[in-house]
Amino acid sequence: MTKRRDRGDGGIDERGKNSWRLRYRVKGKRITQTFHGSLSDARKELRRLLKSGDDGTHVAPDKITLGQWIAQWLAIGAPGRRQRGVGGRALARYGQLLRVHVVPVLGSRPLQQIQATELDALYCKLEGKVAASTAQYVHVVLGSCLSTAVRKGMLAVNPLERAEKIPSPGEADHGTVLDQDQLRTLVEGFRDSVLFPIVAVAAFTGARRSEILALRWSDLDGKAKTLRFERAVDHVTGQALALKAPKTARGRAPSRSTIACWRC
């Protein structure tokens, strides 16, 4: 199946299941690019490419550098496998990791020429320089960035899939688990503090700090003894506080233990 358009609007050719060839022109030069995704997404990508050609920001797929692609990926919200952008705080963290640890080393390399051996060398440089968890986080974020490039047809395969020196997250900090009596003692210790409601909710619901700080009185049902989490604070350094949906659907479920614990 071929979706034909006027010559100046480019075209879309079906190559396989959820695989398309995008055809368009920039300054008279004919360019083709493979795209993986739905037909609707392919049309959106073609419109974006045509617009970039009109406003002078277009970079041919075989010319774009890893640094340029990272900047584009962050600009569209750093979408992952579900093709959804991340929250502001996570986006800022992703940008910091890539700009500090990846761009200075491989940013000037053409995206389509990145080799698995270069990624191995990058990870070797990180070893001993940063914490194991940080190195592993760089690997995860970079992998998501490159996977998006594959979905958009800018890469045939993700070079990270052939890398050998995958950073290990190291030994996780499992923290200290309190038994029931210790937990009660902890909460009671804040009884006369303005932090008591926050500590009590955190102790007896397991909610995240960002979700607790976003609670409103309307979320509390005293009669039913339920507390509903429907939003979370999204704090990015240097920016105003914003609200976002809880991280998981489970985080929106009501908790029926909170009120009783406050009265213990």
SS3 4: coil
User: Residue 180 class from Cβ within 10 Å (0-12 exposed, 13-18 middle, 19+ buried)?
Assistant: exposed
Using the predicted structure, report yes or no on whether residue 256 has a pLDDT greater than 70.
Answer: no
Helix H, strand E, coil C: the string for 211-229 is HHCCCCHHHEECCCCEECC
pTM for the whole thing? 0.60
What average pLDDT does this structure show over 5-15?
A: 74
Helix H, strand E, coil C: the string for 202-215 is HHHHCCCHHHHCCC
CB atoms within 10 A of CB 59: 14
CB 232 within 8 A of CB 208: yes
Using the predicted structure, report yes or no on whether residue 238 has a pLDDT greater than 80.
Answer: no
The upper half-sphere exposure of residue 177, i.e. CA atoms within 13 Å in the direction of its Cβ, equals 2
* pLDDT tens by residue, 74-122: 998 998 877 777 888 889 999 999 999 999 999 999 998 899 999 999 9
Using the predicted structure, report yes or no on whether residue 153 has a pLDDT greater than 90.
Answer: no
> What is the identity of the amino acid at 34?
T
**pLDDT-based confidence at residue 57 (cuts at 50, 70, 90):** confident
Q: What is the pLDDT of residue 172?
A: 60
Backbone angles phi, psi at 227, to 5 degrees: -135, 120
- C-alpha 211/C-alpha 246 separation (Å) is 7
Kindly state the percentage of the chain with pLDDT values over 70.
84
**pLDDT-based confidence at residue 247 (cuts at 50, 70, 90):** low
